[in-house]
Amino acid sequence: MNHANMKTIAATLLGAAAFCTWAASPAAGDIVVIVNPKSAIASVTADQVEQIFLGKTASLPGGGNANPVDQTEGSPLRDDFYQKAAGKTSAQVKAIWSRLVFSGKGTPPKALGTSADVKKLVASDTNAIGYIEKSEADATVKVVLTLP
Amino acid sequence: MLNKSWLLSLPLALAVGSAWGGDFSDMFTFNGFGTAAVVKTDTNKATYVETGQSAGSDGDLYFKTDSKLALQGTVTPTAWLSGTVQVLAADKVNDNLSPAIEWAFVKFKPLPGLSIRAGRMALPSYLVSDSRHVGYANTWLRAPDEVYGQGVFDTFTGADIAYQRSIGAYSLTFGVLAGKTAVDVLEARGLALMINGRNVRGYSVALDAGLVTLRYSHVTVDVEPQLGQFILGRAAYSFSSIGATLDHHNVVAQAEFIAQHAGATEVDVDGWYTLGGYRLGNWLPYAMYAAGQRPSGPSANNPLFMSTGGVPLPSQSKHTISVGVRADLIKSVDFKLQVDRETTFPTGTPFIDVQPGFDDKAFVYSFAVDFVF
């Protein structure tokens, strides 16, 4: 490949990027952070949720290994959650996790496709912590924080 | 140069895909990162290189300065045990992008917050030593050479222990390490000049206070430069780093100071930088200033020279003013443009093959595409 070609490719990439816009996530309703009903945790703060979901701690408030459960990357609920809990865009979250993943310090939370899947996992694991739409919450899980 | 075109096409292919790595099962994960970049200077009277590199831009577009590709595989048979291998192809020495095993380690997590690793790992000399090659994880296009080009060793073989503890909204991490290391300085005509590092010891303390993170680390090594079979000398080597990052709403800032001492030379090696940026939606314009000094010479940062007696070496200093912008327009891909004004005194790194009439200053223009998958 000659230099002129590389210049063209670079220009094309930048051009493609500039025209590629991402729709802002629609203003969703309240999001609730949920744990297993048997968990000793009564409530958590947004700071604690941020620490767990951004890999700053591997422990639950009050002890025990945290098993965070995420929603699928790119879903409006997920983008909304990280904006409300941590004030971060999905790109910032990805950059933070890439730092941890490629230094061998951590693995991002497992991501599940639907809130029903998240509820199901949280209902079966006393160390799990997840988030769903407030309207999806029911007696199978315990709400420990509401993010308006 | 045909063989390099695939690196440029990768980010586009990856932008189309959406998954974070491959998740073959709960036990195996597969990830990667890379950078496709071009660099161009405004002078044909010198060649611009990063420390360790032997070729670069002499006024024309050059591909290998910052381009790299890494693949990482992790196997997690149980919650408390994992194994990680990372293979990185980057031009670190001898103008060569051939892949090499960067790390390979086993990690145990016997208790919450405690992890023990054994194998080959990044030597945590810097604020971002273990993710400095991950363009996507950093604001800058390239780590400032005034700081990140100063350390002699990038990796070590041995073990480390990290303990992380949350105190309210804060998180504290303590680390200690021990092992050995070695680095190739030069390979020519069948003769290899390398630097062996014995008795690698180090510790680090990091505080994550949400908006601000602070980190201090100190590493000591007994170094032995070796040419072929011959050990050329011995020297004590130490490297300290203190750094801080701030990430608050739209404001991003980062600063770091490093100091290195080796052998009997009376010339200090030190460097610092400060970076500030402001997020405007998906765009992050930033500015950076970096300055550093080290002994001058063809292999200026080489303990070979530091261990050969008490002769004070002349000092070379360098500073760089940079402005750039990072754009996060596509998922898992960023685009960066950076312009550096490099100044050295006297002539030295980052300039090699210097022609008469070069005034020790140059503009360096860089464009990079970083990606993770």
User: Is B177 at the interface with chain A, CB within 8 A?
Assistant: no
User: Is B360 at the interface with chain A, CB within 8 A?
Assistant: no
What's chain A's Rg over C-alpha atoms? Answer: 18
Q: Nearest by CB to A1, from B1, B72, B330: name it.
A: B1
Q: What helix, strand, coil percent values describe chain B, rounded to 5? A: 10, 60, 30
Residue B203 to residues A112, B123, B124, B172, B173, Cα–Cα distance (Å): 38, 10, 9, 14, 11
Q: What are phi and psi of B313, to 5 degrees?
A: -90, 150
Query: What ipTM is given for this predicted complex?
Result: 0.83
Residue B70 to residues A19, B36, B289, Cα–Cα distance (Å): 28, 12, 28
User: Is A45 at the interface with chain B, CB within 8 A?
Assistant: yes
Helix, coil or strand: residue B131: helix
Bridge partners of residue B88, in order along the sequence: B70, B100
Tokens for B253?
């800032």
Average pLDDT over residues B338-352: 90
* Residue A113 CB burial class (10 angstroms; 0-12, 13-18, ≥19): exposed
Secondary structure of A36-97 as H, E, C letters: CCCCCCCCCCHHHHHHHHCCCCCECCCCCECEEEEECCCCHHHHHHHHHHHCCCHHHHHHHH
**Rounded CA gap, A92 and A90, in Å?**
5
**How much is the pTM?**
0.85
Tokens for A95?
């950059």
Each residue's pLDDT tens digit, A28-59: 589 999 999 999 999 999 989 998 999 888 88
Handedness of CA B356, B357, B362, B367 (dihedral sign): negative
Distance of CA B19 to the CA centre of its chain: 27
Average pLDDT over residues B70-82: 92
At B137, is the pLDDT very low, low, confident or very high (cuts 50, 70, 90)?
very high
Least confident piece of the model among B37-41, B97-101, B114-118: B97-101
User: Is B286 at the interface with chain A, CB within 8 A?
Assistant: no
Q: Tell me, what amino acid is at A77?
A: L
Q: What are phi and psi of B45, to 5 degrees?
A: -100, 0
Would the CB atoms of A95 and B74 count as touching at under 8 Å? no
Q: Is the pLDDT score of B325 beyond 70?
A: yes
> In terms of residues, how long is chain A?
148
Each residue's pLDDT tens digit, B220-237: 999 888 887 888 778 888
Q: How many helices (H) and strands (E) does chain B have?
A: 3, 20
In chain B, residues 76-135 whose CB comes closer than 8 Å to chain A: 76, 79, 84, 86, 103, 105, 107, 109, 112-113, 117, 121-122, 128, 130-131, 133-134
**Rounded CA gap, B71 and B62, in Å?**
23
Would the CB atoms of B164 and A58 count as touching at under 8 Å? yes
In chain B, residues 141-170 whose CB comes closer than 8 Å to chain A: 164, 166, 169
Within 8 A of B20 by CB-CB distance, chain A residues are 73, 94, 97, 108, 111
Each residue's pLDDT tens digit, A51-85: 899 988 888 888 888 999 999 998 999 999 999 99
* Angle between helical axes of A3-19 and B5-16 (0-180°, round to 10): 10
Most confident of A60-64, B3-7, B293-297: A60-64
Please, what is the average pLDDT of chain A?
84
